[in-house]
Amino acid sequence: MEAAAKPDQGLPAPVHVAIIMDGNGRWAKARGLPRTAGHKKGAESVRRAVETARELGVSYLTLYAFSSENWKRPVGEVTDLMGLLRLYLRNEVNSLHKNGIRLRIIGDRSKLSADIVTLIEESEAKTRDNNALTLVLALSYGGRQEIVEAARAVARQVAEGRISVDAIDETTLAGNLFTADIPDPDLVIRTSGEQRISNFLLWQCAYSELVFLDVLWPDFSRSDFEAAIRDYHGRDRRFGAANG
């Protein structure tokens, strides 16, 4: 059988790729290192994935950086993760901006510290007009929570008389999600070998292709990214329609 072409050798990149970055803790444990070391190494993979997405022509890259459930982790680990987030927002945004990358943050900002919210707002404002790639970081994010918040927003619109109950449809709800102006993911990748989506983009992933990789996130490479896209191109995307 002829080897599949690389995405950069003729196959178009998916418009939107979303990644569940899993395995930092296991990577560190396997090396006898603290979990923080895994998170720091994982941050390097974030940079590599962003560069790869831009080079391959992906328009949107969404990374599951910190879930709503992650707040339940030990205080010390959460503190370390928030510290890494601060460093990323302070040190990487200039590079993102230089490379024409727009940064978007989705999730519940009310649980984030005030200085992080300020950094987020400044980073989004600085990169707002960039169009080489939109990098979406899901922070303090949960898919069920997002849908609940969207339902509340629609309920308020009904209560205020702006729309009728009968006018509510999928487009109405989708328009009140964090991702209202972002296309649904074509491809969702999860690293570490786990095969679940863990409350990530539940509404948006209705027809996404799912690729599960055994590689731990700190080891996620350009070749892994390309392999996932080749897998994606081998799928028959029918969106519920019958063959033929």
Q: Catalytic: 236?
A: no
pTM of the model: 0.91
Average pLDDT over every residue of 222-235: 95
The CATH number assigned to the domain holding 58 equals: 3.40.1180.10
Output the pLDDT for position 138: 97
Residues of each annotated binding site for Mg(2+): 22, 209
Q: What is the pLDDT of the chain when averaged over all its residues? A: 93
Options 8, 70, 99, 219, the catalytic residue: 70
Average pLDDT over every residue of 24-34: 96
Asked whether residue 208 is domain-assigned, the answer is yes
pLDDT per residue as tens digits for the range 39-95 = 999 999 999 999 999 999 999 999 999 999 999 999 999 999 999 999 999 999 999
DSSP assignment of 42-95 equals: HHHHHHHHHHHHHHHT-SEEEEEEEEGGGGGS-HHHHHHHHHHHHHHHHHTHHH
Domain that holds residue 112: 12-143+186-233
Q: Specify the pairing of strand 209-212 against strand 133-141.
A: unpaired
Q: Which of 10-14, 36-40, 101-105 has the highest mean pLDDT?
A: 101-105
CB hemisphere CA count around 149 (13 angstroms): 15
Output the pLDDT for position 182: 98
Q: What percent of the chain has pLDDT over 90?
A: 91
> What single-letter amino acid sits at 64?
Y
Asked whether residue 104 is domain-assigned, the answer is yes
Asked whether residue 192 is domain-assigned, the answer is yes
Cα 224–Cα 229–Cα 232 angle in degrees, nearest 5: 130
Tokens of 197: 């989506």
Asked whether residue 203 is domain-assigned, the answer is yes
Query: How would residue 12 be classed by pLDDT, with cut points 50, 70 and 90?
Result: confident
Asked whether residue 242 is domain-assigned, the answer is no
Residues of each annotated binding site: 22-27, 35, 39, 67-69, 71, 73, 190, 196-198, 209
Asked whether residue 181 is domain-assigned, the answer is no
Q: Catalytic: 22?
A: yes
Asked whether residue 2 is domain-assigned, the answer is no
Please state the length of the chain.
244
Asked whether residue 177 is domain-assigned, the answer is no
3-state secondary structure of 184: coil
In the chain, how many domains are there? 1
d(CA 228, CA 90): 30
- CA Rg value for the chain: 19
Output the pLDDT for position 236: 78
Number of Cβ atoms within 10 Å of the Cβ of 205: 16
pLDDT per residue as tens digits for the range 163-185 = 999 999 999 999 999 999 999 99
Residues of each annotated binding site for substrate: 23-27, 35, 39, 67-69, 71, 73, 190, 196-198
